[in-house]
């Protein structure tokens, strides 16, 4: 799991290898081939998101980031190959989005552990 610091919140992505990540971007903020504008209020009110695969350095931009598998101490991750397989099935698909219940952290933790969790919006 990759945590990207975005001011007062974090954007989450899943490392796929070859310097690429998979992540969700809110629909309406970007066109089919552009990278997300990860700041601003549009994403807070979005109802839909799209799963995209982008180079890590392009997603991160000038923001600080780190590898943060913070739930590993009490959740068992799937094997790496299974995580990547599960993630690839989602690329370019649209899914419901809700900043409180189905956000970017929920999505990547669902891929890694089988259940979506987010410390940003609830205690785990």
Q: Active-site residue numbers?
A: 11, 104
Q: Among residues 29, 31, 35, which one has the least CA distance to residue 4?
A: 35
Radius of gyration of the chain (CA): 13
DSSP-assigned letter for residue 115: S
Tokens of 33: 């081939």
């Amino acid at each position: 799991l990759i945590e990207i610091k975005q001011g007062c919140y974090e954007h989450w992505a899943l490392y796929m290898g070859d310097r690429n990540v998979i992540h969700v971007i809110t629909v309406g903020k970007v066109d089919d081939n552009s990278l997300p504008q990860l700041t601003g209020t549009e994403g807070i009110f979005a109802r839909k998101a799209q799963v995209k695969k982008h180079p890590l350095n392009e997603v991160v931009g000038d923001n600080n980031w780190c590898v943060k598998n913070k739930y590993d101490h009490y959740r068992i991750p799937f094997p790496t190959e299974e995580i990547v397989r599960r993630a690839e099935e989602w690329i370019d698909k649209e899914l419901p989005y809700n900043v409180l219940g189905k956000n970017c952290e929920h999505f990547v933790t669902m891929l890694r552990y089988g259940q979506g969790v987010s410390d940003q919006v609830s205690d785990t």
